[in-house]
Amino acid sequence: ILNVEQSPQSLHVQEGDSTNFTCSFPSSNFYALHWYRWETAKSPEALFVMTLNGDEKKKGRISATLNTKEGYSYLYIKGSQPEDSATYLCAFAYNTDKLIFGTGTRLQVFP
Amino acid sequence: NAGVMQNPRHLVRRRGQEARLRCSPMKGHSHVYWYRQLPEEGLKFMVYLQKENIIDESGMPKERFSAEFPKEGPSILRIQQVVRGDSAAYFCASSPPGQGVLDHEQYFGPGTRLTVT
């Protein structure tokens, strides 16, 4: 059974703090790793699609790294803001057809 | 450019009835994915379709569930003879032509919340 684990399950930080979360996935048959941001009462929105070992991607204050050999990806948020409060999902692809989602890290940023 | 549209947003069905969930992908998108989110669980892949073709239905329950994406019109997820365990949020996502999940993110609709009474 292919499993995608995310940690921590939830996180509370103060505005201005930097934070990071982990996504662990099987290191064999790797095709792609996606990160999504899911705000309450909205739809998941894509942050990054990563395919190459050592890949680093950045969008504003959010960045992600990828290690396919050991099966993990980190998502970093620099200087967290209250509007960053959301659930962050990672999803692993072992073929071209489908994603296996983790259960997410729920981030709450307090002003 | 309108996003992925799903309707209805909320659907209540009695046990034994049929549920039909619709998904209109973003303009220009030819790949449609359906996911189910059970209470307190994550998104689970159900089926991946391209126009008039089911590409991967490995996440679909073997009975009562079917999906289609006709040449014209929205993609439909159909659940026959619903049971209480079918109560969940069903999300549709679409992506443009290409190598599926390799080179494109997925664009999600707002979901349909199905309640079976």
d(CA A82, CA B34): 31
Distance CA A69, CA A76 (A): 20
**B86 pLDDT higher than 80:** yes
Residues of chain A with Cβ-Cβ distance to B91 below 8 Å are: 43-44
Asked if residue B103 has pLDDT above 80, the reply is no
**Stretch B83-112: mean pLDDT, rounded?**
90
- Sequence length of chain B is 117
Q: What is the mean pLDDT of chain A?
A: 94
CB contact under 8 A, A43 and B100: no
- From the list B3, B100, B111, the residue facing A96 with the nearest CB is B100
More confident position, B99 or B20:
B20
Strands A100-101 and B31-37: unpaired
A7 vs chain B: nearest CA distance in angstroms? 14
